[in-house]
Amino acid sequence: MFNVLQHRPLLVAGTAVRRGAAAAPARLPVMQPARFAHAAPAQQRPSVRFNSTGSSGSSGSASSSAPHLEPIDPIPYLLTGVAAVAGIAGSVLAYVYLTDTRASVYKWLGMPLMHALYDPEEGHKLSIWLAKHGLVPRERTTDDELLKIQLWGKTVTNPLGLAAGYDKHAEAVDSLFGFGFGLVEIGSVTPKPQPGNPKPRMFRLPQDKAVINRYGFNSEGHGESWFQGVDATAVTKTATPPRNRSLQPDRLLGVNLGKNKTSPADSNDDYVAGIAALGAYADYLVINISSPNTPGLRALQRREPIERLLRDAKTARDTLLPAGHRPPLLVKIAPDLGDSEIEDVAAVVASVGVDGVIISNTTISRPDTLASDTKLSREFGGLSGPPVLPLALRVVSRFYALTGGSVPIIGCGGIRTAEDALAFAAAGASAVQVPGLVHDIKVGVTDILSKRGVTWSDVVGADHRRA
């Protein structure tokens, strides 16, 4: 009979034998003293693995030894950590720098690149798009008390504003205030949408740091796209005292009103419509009768037409807008007016009771000092930039003298430096409008005022007091 037990293999010290056979003597591992373990050749050391139960098994040999753990080199991990911290810190610093109006990269790199890569109108559109989406720097400093002014019964943090013509469709108002302007003026806006003049219609004069444009009041009209999301009537209902329409403390939003190209030359209806539609959104309203790119518009600067227009505009403001919000009414005039025309405008403004004047718009003249290519300088349209400064300054000074400083003037035209801005103030401008990033001019004005020991308001009209 077959005996299963006799034929069942046995395991003796890891060796299979049959019952009844002589078992081979077991080989027991010889443990070397720890102090000699290092002397064993690397290929003879068993590699140790730990299984899930915590016991170890050896591979490559039946013998086993104590676990051998390779030391961890900390240097790569330290370098990785340092690199991560440096990257985060660098990103934060870059963000802080690039989102600050004091960053010189915009002046020395950003603007030259834009001028090199884009034609004037496309560069203009790109800058508005960036501002609209908040991809522009913001001012991180506060205005000095030396700059604070009172204008139409309101405190304004600084007298430096942005002229109409840049943000024509009110797309980037908050970002523009973020640049540090005390006043931002949008438009011009016409009642009906119109495309403006054919392209090209904007030309740079690089040697003169000037621009010629003939946009022709390109406008989206009084549509619902204007100031979307802003409840104009709720602005004053929920705040005591009433908040500015700019929704910014001590900063004012102006709305510049234009006339459609197809409207009758002797009709004032477009301006009345603009007051009715947009007056509720404005801290001040501007009647623009000085653009050179709308046929017949500048003819409104003659005494009879301008008086009729301003009376109609004032009546519209006083009757069509609520008594709790009747924004100051200003008129914008050209720098090309002769002395008799300036006298007519001053007389009408005083007679009608207009709240202010913006001096000036672009010029149709071409000064002999222009150094750019004559092919560019002879383009039809309004010239802006430094060549306009002496023309505008003359009109500001003359108007201030005629009105005795009783009518606030906003000076505009060719201002690029702190000295330019203060020259307008001394001639009689209560505030000025400047192009581009305002920070450098503001710092320069503050430094000059501080050294003189005076405020901006002290400087306004100083030329006339010395005379």
Nearest C-alpha neighbor of 288 from the set 263, 303, 270, 264: 270
Q: What distance, in Å, lies between the first and last C-alpha atoms of the chain?
A: 143
pLDDT tens, position by position, 56-72: 444 444 445 666 777 77
Q: What is the pLDDT of residue 119?
A: 92
pLDDT tens, position by position, 222-241: 985 566 545 555 444 444 45
Question: Contact at 8 Å (CB) between 346 and 359?
Answer: no
* Residue-averaged pLDDT of the chain: 84
Q: What is the pLDDT of residue 89?
A: 87
Is residue 275's pLDDT more than 50?
A: yes
Q: Is the dihedral of CA 224, 226, 230, 232 positive or negative?
A: negative
Least confident among 26-35, 383-392, 402-411? 26-35
Tell me the sheet residues that pair with 242: none
**Options 291, 377, 384, 430, the catalytic residue:** 291
Is residue 97's pLDDT more than 80?
A: no
Is residue 41's pLDDT more than 60?
A: no
pLDDT band at 294 (very low <50, low <70, confident <90, very high): confident
Nearest C-alpha neighbor of 330 from the set 413, 233, 267, 411: 411
Catalytic residue list contains 263 = no
Q: What is the pLDDT of residue 236?
A: 45
pLDDT band at 400 (very low <50, low <70, confident <90, very high): very high
Q: What is the pLDDT of residue 57?
A: 46
pLDDT tens, position by position, 176-224: 999 999 999 999 999 999 999 999 999 999 999 999 999 999 999 998 5
Cα atoms in the Cβ-side hemisphere of radius 13 Å centred on 422: 21
Q: What is the pLDDT of residue 153?
A: 95
Question: Contact at 8 Å (CB) between 169 and 175?
Answer: no
Question: Contact at 8 Å (CB) between 382 and 291?
Answer: yes
pLDDT band at 398 (very low <50, low <70, confident <90, very high): very high
* Residue 173 one-letter amino acid: V
Q: What is the pLDDT of residue 226?
A: 60
Cα atoms in the Cβ-side hemisphere of radius 13 Å centred on 46: 18
Of 53 and 154, which is predicted with more confidence? 154
Tell me the sheet residues that pair with 154: 151
Mean pLDDT value across residues 115-134: 93
Q: What is the pLDDT of residue 37?
A: 41
pTM, to two decimals:
0.80
Distance CA 287, CA 435 (A): 21
Is residue 427's pLDDT more than 50?
A: yes
Please name the residues in contact with 74: beta carbons below 8 A apart, sequence gap of 6 or more: none
pLDDT tens, position by position, 335-352: 999 999 999 999 999 999
